[in-house]
Amino acid sequence: MNINEGQNIEFKRQYVNDLNRTVIAFANTSGGKIYIGIDDFGEVVGLDNPDEELLKLTNSIRDSIKPDITLLTSSTIESIDGKNIIMLEVQKGTSCPYYLAGKGIRPEGVYLRQGASTVPATESAILKMIKETAGDSYEDLRSLKQDLDFDTLKKEFQEKGLAIEDAQMKTLHLVDDNGLYTNLGYLLSEQCNHTIKVAVFEGVNKEIFKDRYEFSGSLMKQMNEVFIFLDRYNRTHSVIEGLHRKDTRDYPVVAIRESLLNSIIHRDYSFSGSTLISVFDDRMEFLTLGGLAKGLTKNDIMIGVSISRNKNLANVFYRLKWVEAYGTGIMKIVKSYRDHFESPRIDITDNAFKITLPNMQIFNEVHESCAEYSTGEERVLEILHSRKIISRKDVEEELSIAQPTAVNLLRKLLDKSAIEKIGKGKNTRYRLKGGLHGN
């Protein structure tokens, strides 16, 4: 023959199982031809039973390579110098990466053509192929992990009286057109390794841990478990009004629920870090990776405009009635604080989104106790509530006032027994006294 092995040509003396790697490499790279019955030096040695070898070849390609690659291959028996050989032609595939079914979508299962050699693909090369095939939407991409279980998903659907068979898995985009799991399927599987970390702190700073836990597994499992965990730290307060008892919570339950849903549904899962939830004495913070979807502003989301980063994930939650309607979560959070002194806070950066829920009970007590104080005195009390201990210098800097004014404010608050002095001289500090601590 007048051809040599190269980027698109491979010689095999006889059929061997490793030939599937070369078939995969051609389909993942730029196509090529495999000649069986020709040795590495280009000498035609022929095949004694070409029909039998061809049957082995076609069966192996059908059973050992995923996605189905049979439509990309064609094989013929040819005669060269009176000797029979098999010529297998492989086209460049449109559903890359192709891989060995027994190895999965990882370097030991995915191959590329590099010159005249077949080599394992790197993980970055695999991810690049997936993106080129499926686009940039994380949830639509083919999952690198295909050995997945869906116990939580099936349980949630069954409890709602909804079917979740193969047809529904495909309709919900947990499975792609080739029958392979997408990243959405991975996120809702028990094997999901994206986590939510919750930390409970003593006071208002991240200095002393009271409790912390990391939640893993299916996003549905995390949703349920985190909500239960946070509810433990949402204290109930009772007030007797006449013959009736009125119960209130530190945080509106709907605000916690919608903040948690927001952190799960709108997170950018292409980042590997965890969602972080922090519980302090005076607030609860939900920090999510991924800023706003392209084109949205903070004003947009505050009036209910919604462009979901993970629209298929949102649809699954919608079917389970965990989400009532698109774009209403932030408005529900704000509305739940309508009759209270403090409002939730939204902070947005290019790569993060944070919702801060004030502890209603503490802020209500502070504002009620401040009714008898002047505006300046109220501002000092608010600073003390946040920082716990302050100096006269702190009051001057925070309120942008002169030393005599700061001294006068502190003296009035001492006279009203609203604060108390600790230390002496240059080490004098002030802190809230009695019921103003909000404990």
In a shared domain, residues 320 and 206: yes
In a domain, 58, yes or no: yes
The CA distance from 39 to 437, in Å, is 86
In a shared domain, residues 336 and 227: yes
pLDDT of residue 365: 58
In a domain, 39, yes or no: yes
In a domain, 212, yes or no: yes
In a shared domain, residues 378 and 416: yes
In a shared domain, residues 353 and 381: no
Please tell me the total count of domains within the chain. Answer: 3
pLDDT of residue 437: 43
pLDDT of residue 242: 63
In a shared domain, residues 347 and 396: no
Q: The CATH number of the domain where 301 resides is what? A: 3.30.565.60
Q: Environment class of residue 260 by beta-carbon count within 10 Å: exposed (0-12), middle (13-18) or buried (19+)?
A: buried
In a shared domain, residues 99 and 45: yes
Q: Which of 100, 119, 134 is the last residue of a domain?
A: 134
- Please choose, from the candidates 103, 108, 106, the residue with its C-alpha nearest in 3D space to the C-alpha of residue 129: 106
pLDDT of residue 247: 76
In a domain, 190, yes or no: no
pTM for the model: 0.64
In a shared domain, residues 398 and 293: no
* Helices within 31-122 (DSSP H only): 50-64
Range of the domain at 104: 9-134
In a domain, 245, yes or no: yes
Neighbour count for residue 198 (Cβ, 10 Å)? 22
pLDDT of residue 307: 72
Q: The CATH number of the domain where 27 resides is what? A: 3.30.950.30
In a shared domain, residues 61 and 126: yes
In a domain, 13, yes or no: yes
Q: The CATH number of the domain where 398 resides is what? A: 1.10.10.10
In a domain, 215, yes or no: yes
Q: Which of 117, 134, 151 is the last residue of a domain?
A: 134
In a shared domain, residues 324 and 381: no
Tens-digit pLDDT profile for residues 101-160: 888 888 999 999 999 899 999 988 988 888 777 666 889 888 988 999 999 999 999 999
In a domain, 2, yes or no: no
Q: What is the pLDDT along the chain (439 residues), one digit of tens a residue?
A: 567 888 999 999 988 888 999 999 999 999 999 999 999 888 999 999 999 999 999 999 999 999 889 989 999 999 988 899 999 999 998 888 999 988 888 899 999 999 989 999 998 898 888 877 766 688 988 898 899 999 999 999 999 999 999 999 999 999 998 888 999 999 999 999 999 999 999 888 888 899 999 999 999 999 999 999 999 999 887 766 666 677 788 999 999 999 999 999 999 998 888 999 999 988 999 999 988 876 677 777 777 777 778 989 999 999 998 887 666 788 899 899 887 767 899 998 888 999 999 988 876 655 555 556 677 888 888 888 878 899 999 999 888 888 888 898 898 888 888 889 999 888 999 998 754 444 3
pLDDT of residue 284: 95
In a shared domain, residues 277 and 393: no
pLDDT of residue 121: 94
In a shared domain, residues 202 and 333: yes
Sheet holding 389-390, edge to edge: 389-390, 429-432, 419-422
**The residue to which tokens 């009036």 are assigned:** 303
180 phi-psi bin (left φ>0, alpha ψ -120 to 50, beta other): beta
Q: Which of 360, 389, 410 is the last residue of a domain?
A: 360
Tens-digit pLDDT profile for residues 193-215: 999 999 999 888 888 899 999 99
pLDDT of residue 200: 95
Contact 5, 13 (CB under 8 A): no
Q: Environment class of residue 14 by beta-carbon count within 10 Å: exposed (0-12), middle (13-18) or buried (19+)?
A: middle
pLDDT of residue 51: 92
Tens-digit pLDDT profile for residues 241-278: 666 677 788 999 999 999 999 999 999 998 888 999 99
In a shared domain, residues 307 and 410: no
